[in-house]
Structure 1
Amino acid sequence: MPYYIGDVIKDNRKLVARTPEQFRETGIEVFTETRVGTVDIKEQAVLTEDGKKLPFDFLVFGTGTRAFTPGIPGEDREGVFVLKGLSDAIRIKQLLQDTPCRRAVIIGAGFIGLEMSEAFREAGIETTMVHRGALPAARWDPELSRPILEEMERHGVAFLPNTLVTSIEPGSECRNRLNTSAGPLEADIILLALGVRPDVDLARESGITLGPSGAIAVNFAQRTCAENVYAAGDCCESYHRVSGRWVNIPLGDIANKQGRVAGSNIGGDPMTFPGIVGAQSFKVFGLEAAAAGLSEREATAAGFHPVSTILWGNSAARSMPTARRVGLKLTADRGTGKLLGVQAVGEAGAVSRVNTLSAALWARMSLEDVAYLDLAYSPPFGGAWDPIHIAAQGLLRKL
């Protein structure tokens, strides 16, 4: 959606996977703009707020997430947005088209906030990011998130670290003024980019068990605690193949896979969802960033004894004019040598290397396995010894 707001994607219809009409053509009845009031698991019926009663043999919770709003006084003012769904993106883009906007403030420094900083700057809007932490992209090691900050600042994004917003009120120069611990800011548009939470109210109220993450607990077939009730997507948990724990990591590719598994099981073709390693990526201006597996903090919480290394290598053979620096962090368990996590940042080659190492995490490879992986060597894409090899061999020496 940031790419639609930033006019990279021109037509919002390209963001709609399937229209209600297309569903109906395949025999699937769709009720849009309809809120569910209650779900009666025992009676096997869904009751909508407008009085419809929909009996079911099987039920799937696919309620997704809701944007987290911290309860800042004034966060409901005109010009203050979250970016959760397509309707939010359309409203934001409409405001930018209809109303001159000179200044934007983004509260939060995660994926959406970072991608939206680029969209606002590409629109010529003066942009400030306010973050309660010291650096953006908190999941990444400071040595890797610092280049992300430098890239943002190079493109004109002001970053206010360790800053809290206390209230939002009418502005004098712009539509709104934010009162912060670092002083007042004025903005024509404010984006609350503080993450999401699983939308589980309906499931909880109907007696469905939630897991330790606060999302709906499911098994490998996507079945909940009720025999004929399933859940899929951002509202439910996934099995993490590295930590061995059930977690909630809301990503679209995970949701698609879980939905297929749930539907296949309901349709009589048994399937299991084998889990995730939490692979994720984003782009901000000219930088790629990606990660998979566990951070050091997550690894410690899961009972491992993590040891890490950070390597700065080249995205291509160093003799190639296209070679760019890429930073790669590997984390392994000191006792077993098992690969636990990876992070990468660079102008090129960061996502491809994390994708490779994501497969290694999925297969539960050791560092010794990774250190001599047979990779596709070609000077435009890497050296004979790839940064993956060099980082893994360096980390082996620290075990």
Structure 2
Amino acid sequence: MGVGSRERLVVVGGDAAGMSAASQARRRRDGGGLEIVVFERGNFTSYSACGIPYLVGGVVADPGRLIARDPDTFRSAFDIEVYLRHEVTGIDLGRRAVRVRDLDGGGQRWEGFDQLMVATGAVPARPSLPGADAAGIHGVQVLDDGLAIRRVLDGQRPRRAVVVGGGYIGLEMAEALVMRGLQVALVDAAPQPMTTLDEDMGALVADALRKVGVTLHLGERVTGFDTAAGRVRAVTTANRVLPAELVILGLGVRPNTALARSAGLAVGATGGIITDRRMRTEAAGVWAAGDCVQTRHLVSGAPVAIALGTHANKQGRVAGINLGGGYATFPGVVGTAVSKICGVEVARTGLTEAQAVRAGFDPLAVVVASTTRAGYYPGAAPIKTKIVAERRSGRLLGAQIVGEEGAAKRIDGLAIALWNGMTVEEMTGLDLAYAPPFSPVWDPVLIAARKAADLVERTPCR
């Protein structure tokens, strides 16, 4: 517990959510009133996991560029004690203590807490298939994963790689491996990569991957991994055998809640820890934030677990403000995400057409082709914008963008409109910036909104 009159905050996990919470709590309470101790099982704190594919691909050469603050900075500037390579293996809520294993020095000990922040993140989905634990098969979640893959590329010089799964990480890693000169195949059970897009927009991403030499095997499930001497040598599907010296799992991630479950904390339908809007769990003095929690989708109203650094940092900040004696809430998410894959920018927010149907809406959708700049201005590139709206009300439900340079960040305007519950008719009057180097006189967002509003007006109710 805290020493003397000092309260003690223990943080489990030293990346975005955990360190944001610790830093915010410290800003509001000095070291004389609050002791803060962080346990992180990895080798780094406060790093950009989103930068891992660019580290692997060589776009970012120095891993240190991905690290925002190291433990020495947290100790000297924030009076936050950080223990790297220390894994919390148990939480005893009755005893108000966590069991900590020193991964390098060995041994375990109990550390008391008054307040506990659970920020255990997510873990890559790993299929329960023959050979899935073989050497050469890598998930991608933490910086240590990226460094391990880079060591393989630099030291073993593999020639052939297979990426299993076509989500954001899978596609970004496929591009990174192409940049490193490997022959890359991608296997996905879905008919198109990136299932967070509708199929018509995902098809554009598939075309971009093929253009840079990625061989796609879509609509195929992996059935196992061929191994020799404990090392992967091929990926098998129902249709083929794909030789590989390196396999990347891009099957997405799931909330890392084993520790929370074993402690008796409530876990929701998404697999994430249940918290209130202030990031409190049901257990007194226990908080949670980041990829390990579930939150509310503000369009569908359903619980969701979306692993993004933006959410983790915001949730950690909210928890830290409350831990420090302030008041803050996290309202939920609309699912905004963006990526660059092989020169093509991809963005989405809200619900896809298929998700809107599953959520009980009666949606309409339009897809508009335009250019990122005025057509006569050098560098104008194609962009496709899809808007999903509710049939009767015209309420914006979601949007997707696929295009070349200058396309993706337009999703921010759509996300703001979605956040504020605007209709597509209201969006047609948005005062968006225009100059030929940046946009046609009718921005693609406005064209799509206008087309969607026209469709709503002329489509009868069902």
Shorter-chain-normalised TM-score: which range? over 0.9
Q: Assess if the C-alpha contact under 8 Å between 2:374 and 2:436 holds in 1.
A: yes
Superposed counterparts of 1:49-88, under 5 Å: 49=101, 50-88=107-145
| Alpha-carbon distance between aligned partners in 2 of 1:73 and 1:246, rounded to the nearest angstrom | 33
1:31 is paired with a residue of what secondary structure? strand
**How many residues get paired?**
398
Q: Does 2:63 correspond to 1:6? A: no
| Alpha-carbon distance between aligned partners in 2 of 1:240 and 1:136, rounded to the nearest angstrom | 23
Task: Report the counterpart of residue 120 of structure 1 in structure 2.
Answer: 177
| 1:175 Cα deviation after fit | 5.8
Q: Does 2:121 correspond to 1:47? A: no
Q: Assess if the C-alpha contact under 8 Å between 1:171 and 1:186 holds in 2.
A: no
Corresponding letter in the other structure for 1:31:
Y
**Structure 2 alignment gaps of length 5 or more:** 1-51, 102-106, 457-462
RMSD of aligned residue pairs (Cα, Å): 1.6
Superposed counterparts of 1:1-399, under 5 Å: 1-25=52-76, 26-49=78-101, 50-170=107-227, 176-399=233-456
Q: Assess if the C-alpha contact under 8 Å between 1:5 and 1:93 holds in 2.
A: yes
Corresponding letter in the other structure for 2:65:
K
- Residues 131-172 of structure 1: CA distance to partner in whole angstroms, max 9, x if unpaired? 111111122122222121111111111011111222222369
1:120 is paired with a residue of what secondary structure? helix
Task: Report the more deviating stretch, 303-312 or 191-200.
Answer: 303-312
Q: Assess if the C-alpha contact under 8 Å between 2:137 and 2:232 holds in 1.
A: no
| Alpha-carbon distance between aligned partners in 1 of 2:89 and 2:170, rounded to the nearest angstrom | 33
| Alpha-carbon distance between aligned partners in 1 of 2:409 and 2:154, rounded to the nearest angstrom | 36
| 1:235 Cα deviation after fit | 0.4
Task: Report the more deviating stretch, 263-272 or 13-22.
Answer: 13-22
- Residues 35-87 of structure 1: CA distance to partner in whole angstroms, max 9, x if unpaired? 22221223221122433222111111100001110112112212111111111
| Alpha-carbon distance between aligned partners in 2 of 1:47 and 1:144, rounded to the nearest angstrom | 47
Q: Assess if the C-alpha contact under 8 Å between 1:171 and 1:177 holds in 2.
A: no
Cα distance, 1:212–1:76 mapped onto 2, change above 3 Å: closer
- Residues 298-323 of structure 1: CA distance to partner in whole angstroms, max 9, x if unpaired? 22233322111111111111222321
Corresponding letter in the other structure for 1:226:
A
| Alpha-carbon distance between aligned partners in 2 of 1:37 and 1:114, rounded to the nearest angstrom | 33
Question: 4+ residue stretches of structure 1 with deviation over 4 A?
Answer: none
| 1:16 Cα deviation after fit | 2.0
**Structure 1 alignment gaps of length 5 or more:** none
TM-score (norm. length: structure 2) = 0.83
- Residues 170-198 of structure 1: CA distance to partner in whole angstroms, max 9, x if unpaired? 369x9602222121111111111111000
- Residues 109-142 of structure 1: CA distance to partner in whole angstroms, max 9, x if unpaired? 1111111111111111111111111111122122
TM-score (norm. length: structure 1) = 0.96
Task: Report the counterpart of residue 104 of structure 2 in structure 1.
Answer: none
Q: Percent identity?
A: 38
